[in-house]
Each structure stands twice: as C-alpha cells, then as structure tokens.
Amino acid sequence: MIKLLPKNVKTIGSAALVSASMMLVACSGQVASPYADNNGAPDDDVAQSYAYGEGAYGAFMAGALAQRGDRHEDAVDFYLEVLKRDPSSQLVSERAFAQLLQSGDYENAIKLSRQIIDDTEATPSSLIVTVYQLAALRNGRYEQVRTHLVSTKQGGFGFVLAPILEAWSHAGEGDKDAALLAIEKMASNKAFVSLAKEHKAYLLDYLGDVVEADALYKEIVTSSKLSTFQPVVAYGDFLYRQKRKQEAKIFFIDQLKRFNNNGFLLREARRIDAGIGPTSRAAEPMGAVGLFFFRLASELGQGRSINAAIFYARLSSLSTPDNPDGYIMLGDLLEKVENYTGAAQAFASVGDSSPLAMAAKFRLVEALRQGGDIDAARDHILALLANNADDRNLNVALADLYRGEERYSEALPLYTAVLGDKKPGANDWFILFARGVCYERMGQWAAAEVDMLAALKLKPDDPTILNYLGYSWIDQNVHQDKAKAMIARAVEQRPNDGFIIDSLGWVHYLTGDYSEAVKQLEKAVRLEPSDATINDHLGDAYWQVGRRLEARFQWQYALQSGPEEDERTSIEHKLSYGLDIEQESASEQDS
C-alpha cells in the first residue's frame, strides 16, 4: 500500500525515575489557591465531564480527563476550580502543580510550590520541593535552598541533585570551602566522580579561583572518557573571559579536529569567539543546575523513560530559559509521546536571536502539522516566506503541506521551482519523489514515473520510493516481477511497516498466490489494524481462499474504518454480492 507523507523530521532517543506518584501524593493540609480571581470553569470540550456532577467532584473528573488527554492548561483550570471549592486538598494542589509544569507555566508552578510548602503542614512531593529550590536559587535565597535538601534526596536523582544544589547555594554566598565540601559528597559515589569533578571546576571558575579552575578544566577536557562536550565549551568560555582569546581559539581548533568538526562545538566556539558567550553558561548557579537536568533528560530520553525525561527537560528549561537546546530536546520528547501541542510550544520558545531559531521554526511547523493544525502551520511558513521568498527549505515545507492537504496542483510548481533547471543533486531525491506523488495523484502517471525513477537512482534502496513505485506498478498490472522484488527489498528494511507489508501481500494477491497474500496481509493488519485499505485487501484474500465469513467481517470492519468514497462503494458492493459476482461483472465488461 502507498503511504503518503512519510515523516521527514525524526526525533532523538535509564531507568524510569520519575513516576506519577512523585507528583500525586495525597496529603492533608491547608492550601490556598494562588488564583483567587479565577472565576468560573473553562469553556471547552472538556467541560462535558461536568456530567459527573456540578460540584468539586465534577471539576476534578474534568481535570483528570484533560490531564489524560495532555490538555494541561485545561487540567490546571479545572483543578484550580476544585481548590476554590476545597482548598484543603493536597492531592489536587499537587495535580495542579504538575499540570502547570507540564504546560510550561513555570512562574505559576513556582507560585503554587510556595503555597504548598509555606501554607501546609503536609510533606510535599520532591518535585515540588525541587521547583521551590530552583526559584530560591535563582532569587539568591540560598538558605531556603538548603532547608529542604532532605526532601530533595527522596525523589528521582535527588541523591545527586541535593549535593549540587547545596554546593551552588554555598557558592552563591561566596563560601568556597562549604561549596567544595558539598560537591565532594557526590564524588564519594564512583559512578558520579566525573560529574562531581565537572561541577567542582565550574564552582572554582565561578568563585574566581582561576589557577585551580584552569588546572581542573585541563584535566577534564583531556580525558579520554569525556562524557559530554559541556566542559569543553565551559573551558573555552573560561579562557575567553580571562582575556586569553587567542588561546581559546587554538583550544577550539584542536577540539574540533579531535571531534570531527562536531556541530555543537563549532556553534559554541563561534559564539564565544564573537563575544556572545555559550548558549548555557555552566560556571554559574542556574546554568550548572540547568545543564545537570539537561543531561538527565537527554540520557533518559534515549530509552523508555520518556515521561521522566520530559519532567527533567522542563526543569532544565525552568533553570536555563535562554538555552535553545533545552527547548529543542523538550519538543523532541513531547513529539515522542505525540503531544504535538506541547512540542509546538517548546519549539516556539526558542528566541529569534538563537542560533537554532530557524531550525526551531521548521520544527514548530512540523509539530503543528502532525498535531492537525494545518492552518497554523501554513500561516507560519507563509510568514517566514514573506521575508525569505527564495528560501529553498521553506518552499519545500510549504509544498509538503499542500501535498498533505491533497492540494497537489499547488504543491507541484513549488517542487519544480525548487528543483530548477540544474541537474538534481543527491539530496534532491525526496523532492523528486514528492513531485512524483503529486503527478501520480493528479493522474499524470508518465511524469510521475519519470520522477520516481530519478529519485530511486539517487537513493536506490529507499523503502519509501521502492514501495510507492512498486505498488503503483502492481496497481497498473505492469512490471510485476520487478515490483515484487522492490517491495520485498522495502520490507527487509522496514519489517514492521504495515503499509509496505500490505504492498507485498497485494502483489501476491494480484499474481494469484492467495495463501501467501493472506499471510502477509494478516501481518499488515496486525501492524495497522485501523486502516481501511489493508482490511479491505485482507477481506479479498480471505474470499479467494474460501474463508467467506472472515472476508465479510474484514470488509465490514474496513467500512467502519473511514475508507475513501470509491473504496466505500466497492466494499458495500462486496458485502452485498461477494467478490465472485464483482469479478464476473468485471469480466463481462472486459469482453
């Protein structure tokens, strides 16, 4: 089967250390809502859950439904409505707090964390305490940071975070001895010796101990076990701030050679050379803490702990709101859990002066598209094109949007203009393929085939091209052996892609190998159970092997799965008369 609009933008990827219980601890105590002027319940589709009741219970259920659907701002409004009616509920307060954090409303999350900690006798969750401490560190209330260190140790990576917060709170007060003593607590665990050493270098730098900081930075950056580029950037920044600019340049040249012109290092080196400074400064309290959360989120996000990673990414952005990498990572993570609204908000948070501004804008458009807000995605691209009319990537993005909306006649000239008259380059394969899709959908197969073959020549083993071209040939009953081989190659590369496996099953069907068709199409249905076309195909295959009852079941299911109008007519006919009648009618027409 042809799968339109393959996703062009892919996201990145260790144990689950943040759980729902960390946020949803039910405790008693007096909690006054910080939103006393919030009158009435929000007016949106979530309000239907008020059917559960008009009082606090109804609002709570509405909040729970909104939370389950990742409508965090709606959930906040409902939970705060409950708190107006029942300000003693610790459970609801903490749910409201968690949703504020998830929605990116950091300032109100901080405000509510203070309310929970200052106005109750209950023990708040470690996440609430952490946010409270970050606000205290940011505002120079260092003693308040240390007051809650015991609670911090009790959640997630608190056993590592607590000494970091303690050390930086002492550093904020200028107490070098206490700061270094605190960070040494973390070094007592062998697993965190290198992390403790990095923070010690940052602390020495921040406290003005130039000689010791220089020596420790050198020891870290020359290590063969360097686990992050951040100390490299921090040392380059240190050299620049010490007015050793030429030395900083030479250092970065050496490091770029060492790490094959790594893009992150190159970007940061250019910023420091221009006197702008790194995107996130490690040698200061909030920068150091923010980078700790960034590293945690990045590592957890590579595995199965996506929800934990999202919370740490939120804490990273709260700590270092000017770090664009934090928002890009957060957007990536939110896309992984299909929270495209949140991802769009994250990408939109990258400032226009950031080196990642344009990349973030493209990611914003893609998140809006995947979230179904096509109008907003198109408006963003058109706004960008107003000042960059000839930008190749923007024009391709607009063409992709039009193609996704089935506005093929508008997408096609954009692809053609981008390709121009020059010979297509290696990176033009997707534009050729996309233009071929437009031609095919507009009924201009000859032109479509030319583009598909040209794309395949540039990218010979791409499974998307192999599948689309192969399926098109099968559908036209031409080049069937070649098409079967192409689709088999595509399946080898994507053995769990239901659409490609459907293509393989259908070529077996069309060549009369019905048993193999059933085998492949059953697998395709397991992978894509809600696709109307695949279920329809399986019904046809079942009919041919004599499994008539199962065939009708598959056709009925396909009819309920939103088929295209022409598919619907065909399926209804088969449900009424079966496939044999349909084939006889086709044979009579052919004769």
Amino acid at 300: L
Q: What is the 3-state secondary structure (H, E, C) of 76-101?
A: HHHHHHHHHHCCCCHHHHHHHHHHHH
Q: Which two tokens stand for residue 4?
A: 């339109």
Q: Which two tokens stand for residue 568?
A: 């619907």
pLDDT-flagged residues of the chain (< 50): 2-52, 582-591
Ordered structural domains, the chain, with CATH: 20-288 (1.25.40.10), 373-460 (1.25.40.10), 462-591 (1.25.40.10)
Q: What is the DSSP letter of 505?
A: H
Query: From the centroid of its chain, how far is CA 216?
Result: 36
The whole-number pLDDT of residue 44 equals 43
The whole-number pLDDT of residue 40 equals 38
As a whole number of angstroms, the distance between CA 292 and CA 560 comes to 49
As a whole number of angstroms, the distance between CA 428 and CA 547 comes to 46
The whole-number pLDDT of residue 185 equals 87
Query: What does the pLDDT look like over 473-519, one tens digit per residue?
Result: 988 889 988 999 999 999 999 999 999 999 999 999 988 999 999 99
Amino acid at 155: G
Residue position matching structure tokens 């000042």: 387
CB 555, CB 577: distance < 8 Å: no
Residues present in the chain in total? 591
Q: Which two tokens stand for residue 149?
A: 């260190």
As a whole number of angstroms, the distance between CA 326 and CA 303 comes to 18
Query: From the centroid of its chain, how far is CA 10?
Result: 8
171 Cβ partners below 8 Å, 6+ apart? 179, 203, 206, 207, 285
The whole-number pLDDT of residue 546 equals 95
Q: Which two tokens stand for residue 119?
A: 């106005």
Q: What is the DSSP letter of 241?
A: H
Distance (Å) of CA 269 to CA 32, 230, 248, 263, 326: 48, 12, 9, 10, 19
Q: Which two tokens stand for residue 481?
A: 């052996």
The whole-number pLDDT of residue 118 equals 81
Q: Which two tokens stand for residue 195?
A: 């992390």
As a whole number of angstroms, the distance between CA 363 and CA 361 comes to 5
Q: Which two tokens stand for residue 10?
A: 């892919």
Sign of CA dihedral 499, 505, 508, 514: negative
Distance (Å) of CA 82 to CA 49, 91, 107, 272: 14, 11, 21, 50
CB 541, CB 521: distance < 8 Å: yes
For the question of whether the overall pTM of this predicted structure is more than 0.85, the answer is: no
Residue position matching structure tokens 């006054």: 32
